[in-house]
Structure 1
Amino acid sequence: MTLTTSTADVVDSVAALSNASAAYAVRHQRDKVVTATQGSYDGLFDPDLSGPTLAERLLAAHSIARLAGSAVLLAHYLERLAALPALTAAQQAAIDGEAPSSDPRLQAILAFTRTLTERPVDGDQAALLQLPAAGLATAEVIALAQLVAFVAYQLRVVAGLQALAALGDDGGSAPSVVADAPFVHPANLPKPGEVLRVNGYTSETLGWKAWLPVVDLEQATPAQLAVLEASHPKAKTSDYYRVLVHQPRILEERSTVFNAIMYAPGGLSRAERELASAVVSRINGCVYCASVHAQRFEQLAKRNDVIFQVFTEPQGAGTNARERAIVQASIDLTLRPAQFGAAQLQAVRAAGLSNLEILDLVHAIAIFAWANRLMLNLGEAVFPAAA
């Protein structure tokens, strides 16, 4: 496996973070996230990747930045495209925002990219299978899905860091802690530990089924088996991991990013990271991810009242000012990353979040821009059979 790497950190560069700035300093307190984010970028844009051509991948990334309104990432990917050898007429048309009608394969790639960027919940099996029909092998489809999901993550990390830089330093003070009133379980809700079902969302355990062929363990390469063994105790029996391991290097980097964001010590509480994850999943329409992270919030917080609110209507959800600020920032960065700025962080700062807690919140929101797009567009949730 060829390991092509960049010397510069793309997020630091694109977000224009000075190494003397508070935003730079706090970002590099989470160096595992920094390193694995860059590793994901390097893997996804490696010229030797067994996926769509480098030009096709850069065109997809350029399209995402344009659709999302990220001027800085649009400029970055345009610069990468300009460094390639001569582009075809269809590829140049795609850069100009026109349909590449003379290249059906590129048309299919960009149509898939648009769906995942704008409304990932609209992705279905028929939309996914347009890619194999256009000539993409399964490993190429996985590379493309990972790339689109990664750039969705990347642009939200960049937007969040720019907003944090504009917000200014928190003075290095510890976050204020406000004692909440003792929790009284709402009488109208199932008790914690019982299944919550609202508007098609649930806290019960769901399965997930891939729409593409999964890797046969008997035919897996040593690299694929090693990544499966390191990813999750149940990865070898999971459709999710066995479909993503068609691209083992990308899965390995993505798993590192995820774990470094969700389980890092200090900073935002684990329960609040799970709350942000559940909000993003509810906004994106990912029933599977919402179920997993609703469960994890409840296990950590020992309550389900805010999850009921999020499942009912995310806008305005939260049982106190801090939760409401976390929920609203999660909604704003999910739906409108190009408009996300210091104003969208004022409420979380007022609620007492430190720079590190705000960074952890941005990361949790961004990683579910990535996770939801894989879950929604490579397969489907499977509900338990009725008793």
Structure 2
Amino acid sequence: MTTATLDTLDRLAGLTEQDAAYSTRRLREKAALATQACETLLFSEALSASLTRTERYLLASEQARITGVAVLANYYREQALQADTATQATHAALFQVIAQPGSLSGDARLDAVLSFVRSLALHPATSDKSHLLSVTEHGLSVDDTVLLAQQIGFVAYQARLLVGLLALTAIGGQTEVVTTQQDSTPFVHPANLPAPGEPLRRHGFTSETLGWNAWLPVLDPATASDEQQRVLDISHPKARTMDFYLLLCRQPEVLLERSQAFNAIMYAPGGLARAEREIAAAAVSRINRCVFCLAVHAQRFEQLAKRNDVMAQLFDEPDTAGTNARERAIIQASIILTRAPNQFGVVHLHALREAGLSDLEILDAIHAAALFGWANRLMLNLGQEVYAT
């Protein structure tokens, strides 16, 4: 295999086809292809009317810098330089801002966008409706604001997946899985918890089914384009009545590619058990305080595992959650990837291996945790959860 066939994450992680991490990643080829397709699409020339490709690259660089993933920040800055060779003067203010971290450009549109990106980089729950509406009030169309939100979510995902791959490369491949002694005591449902199937409500979090309302105007399905109609049909059986899909389908190609990535990560056969992927998703959602995502994935875990004890622990105190070594290792790795991806490293993979996870299971856990850095940002910053009346 030649270098030209390696994708962005392969190259930035320094992978070659001789590396164990490269081989493990190829076992999730659909996820790798979907990830690259999302990057290619999000930074395509024709996708945005009010955010140039150079601006999008520079905003991605700024987000990666704040996230602490320098190799990704440098990559996007280099992409901006290559894209802007003919119009450096047009984007001089934004280039200067990126060269002086934390500064502003003096341009109201760019500064509103920068504020939105920076607020979402590490602490998405602190960004709110006012941050979002400031972007549209300063000149971005609703369609381009949705594109920007998808880009921010993607870069959050990409940065966390990259540091996971760097750690997987550093630790080296392992052909034999370390098995841990598991407790063989039959499971007894804790008496203090509601029975599986009943809503679990603790500390402002819940496993009940919630609604979600967008803060921006959504599509009218009756007037949607043929492409939007097609993507709505593919996305979800109830997509035509759900604000989330009706808003994201303002960028139908991006929604479609994101759905491909989501499905390839959460539903791929083999590897990490489906229920354990839901644990990673729930742990990230708990740290990011995404009530909607946590409700969905706590409920899915319970449906798969027929218990809710670990979800109750996550609702109560995520830093000590987990009913066994595997769950604790998955939760702790997901937490550090969420809170401080620049600190994620080999030590966290050792804990996963010692808990009995294979390299493919570790990659699945990293994928799921990284993915919900994307999902949470969309849910938290484009709208708000709604409780059933």
Structure 1 residue aligned with 2:24 = 26
| C-alpha distance in 2 between matches for 1:18 and 1:89 | 36
Once the two structures are superposed, residues 293-321 of structure 1 have per-residue CA deviations (whole angstroms, 9 ceiling, x without a partner) of 00000011110011000000100101111
Structure 1 residue aligned with 2:212 = 208
Residue 111 of structure 2 aligns to which amino acid in structure 1? Q
Once the two structures are superposed, residues 165-189 of structure 1 have per-residue CA deviations (whole angstroms, 9 ceiling, x without a partner) of 1122122558667354211111111
| C-alpha distance in 2 between matches for 1:17 and 1:101 | 37
Answer yes or no: is the 8 Å Cα contact 1:59–1:94 preserved in 2: no
| C-alpha distance in 1 between matches for 2:78 and 2:372 | 27
Partner of residue 95 from structure 2, selected from 79, 83, 92? 92
Partner of residue 352 from structure 1, selected from 351, 356, 364? 356
Q: Alignment partner of 1:215: what SS? A: coil
User: Structure 1's 309 and 367: CA in aligned 2 closer, same or farther, altered over 3 A?
Assistant: same
Q: Percent of aligned pairs with the same residue?
A: 53
Q: Alignment partner of 1:315: what SS? A: helix
| C-alpha distance in 2 between matches for 1:256 and 1:367 | 12
| C-alpha distance in 2 between matches for 1:209 and 1:368 | 19
Range with greater deviation from structure 2 (97-106 or 69-78): 97-106
CA deviation after TM superposition for structure 1 residue 349, in Å: 0.4
| C-alpha distance in 2 between matches for 1:252 and 1:331 | 28
Q: Alignment partner of 2:318: what SS? A: coil
Structure 1 residue aligned with 2:190 = 186
User: Structure 1's 293 and 98: CA in aligned 2 closer, same or farther, altered over 3 A?
Assistant: closer
Say whether residues 1:68 and 2:72 are aligned partners: no
User: Structure 1's 175 and 18: CA in aligned 2 closer, same or farther, altered over 3 A?
Assistant: farther
Q: How does 1:75-86 map to 2 (within 5 A)?
A: 75-83=74-82, 84-85=84-85, 86=88
Structure 2 residue aligned with 1:169 = 173
Residue 59 of structure 1 aligns to which amino acid in structure 2? L
CA deviation after TM superposition for structure 1 residue 69, in Å: 1.0
TM-score, reference length from structure 2 = 0.95
Structure 1 residue aligned with 2:13 = 15
| C-alpha distance in 2 between matches for 1:180 and 1:200 | 33
| C-alpha distance in 1 between matches for 2:223 and 2:181 | 53
Structure 2 residue aligned with 1:126 = 130
Structure 2 residue aligned with 1:142 = 146
Q: Alignment partner of 2:213: what SS? A: strand
CA deviation after TM superposition for structure 1 residue 41, in Å: 0.2
CA deviation after TM superposition for structure 1 residue 7, in Å: 6.3
Range with greater deviation from structure 2 (42-51 or 139-148): 42-51
Partner of residue 283 from structure 1, selected from 280, 287, 306? 287
Structure 1 residue aligned with 2:298 = 294
User: Structure 1's 14 and 383: CA in aligned 2 closer, same or farther, altered over 3 A?
Assistant: same
Range with greater deviation from structure 2 (230-239 or 352-361): 230-239
Range with greater deviation from structure 2 (178-187 or 134-143): 178-187
Answer yes or no: is the 8 Å Cα contact 1:14–1:72 preserved in 2: yes
| C-alpha distance in 2 between matches for 1:281 and 1:312 | 13
| C-alpha distance in 1 between matches for 2:180 and 2:61 | 41
RMSD: 1.4
Paired positions, count: 380
Structure 2 residue aligned with 1:251 = 255
Once the two structures are superposed, residues 87-131 of structure 1 have per-residue CA deviations (whole angstroms, 9 ceiling, x without a partner) of 433112222125333311111111000111121001211111001
| C-alpha distance in 1 between matches for 2:95 and 2:193 | 56
Once the two structures are superposed, residues 319-340 of structure 1 have per-residue CA deviations (whole angstroms, 9 ceiling, x without a partner) of 1111111111110111111111
Once the two structures are superposed, residues 191-222 of structure 1 have per-residue CA deviations (whole angstroms, 9 ceiling, x without a partner) of 11111111100000000000001011122111
| C-alpha distance in 1 between matches for 2:179 and 2:304 | 20
| C-alpha distance in 2 between matches for 1:254 and 1:324 | 28
Q: Alignment partner of 2:104: what SS? A: coil
Say whether residues 1:110 and 2:109 are aligned partners: no
Structure 2 residue aligned with 1:3 = none
Answer yes or no: is the 8 Å Cα contact 2:178–2:353 preserved in 1: no
Once the two structures are superposed, residues 52-90 of structure 1 have per-residue CA deviations (whole angstroms, 9 ceiling, x without a partner) of 211221111011111011111011011112211314331
| C-alpha distance in 2 between matches for 1:114 and 1:248 | 25
Unaligned runs of 5+ in 2: none
TM-score, reference length from structure 1 = 0.95
Unaligned runs of 5+ in 1: 1-5
User: Structure 1's 177 and 138: CA in aligned 2 closer, same or farther, altered over 3 A?
Assistant: farther
Answer yes or no: is the 8 Å Cα contact 1:27–1:359 preserved in 2: yes
| C-alpha distance in 1 between matches for 2:279 and 2:338 | 14
Residue 335 of structure 1 aligns to which amino acid in structure 2? R
Q: Alignment partner of 2:237: what SS? A: coil
Answer yes or no: is the 8 Å Cα contact 2:179–2:354 preserved in 1: no
Range with greater deviation from structure 2 (91-100 or 138-147): 91-100
Q: How does 1:212-291 map to 2 (within 5 A)?
A: 212-291=216-295
| C-alpha distance in 1 between matches for 2:285 and 2:382 | 16
| C-alpha distance in 1 between matches for 2:287 and 2:136 | 29
Answer yes or no: is the 8 Å Cα contact 1:196–1:204 preserved in 2: yes
| C-alpha distance in 1 between matches for 2:192 and 2:209 | 22
| C-alpha distance in 2 between matches for 1:200 and 1:70 | 32
Range with greater deviation from structure 2 (95-104 or 247-256): 95-104
| C-alpha distance in 2 between matches for 1:214 and 1:65 | 29
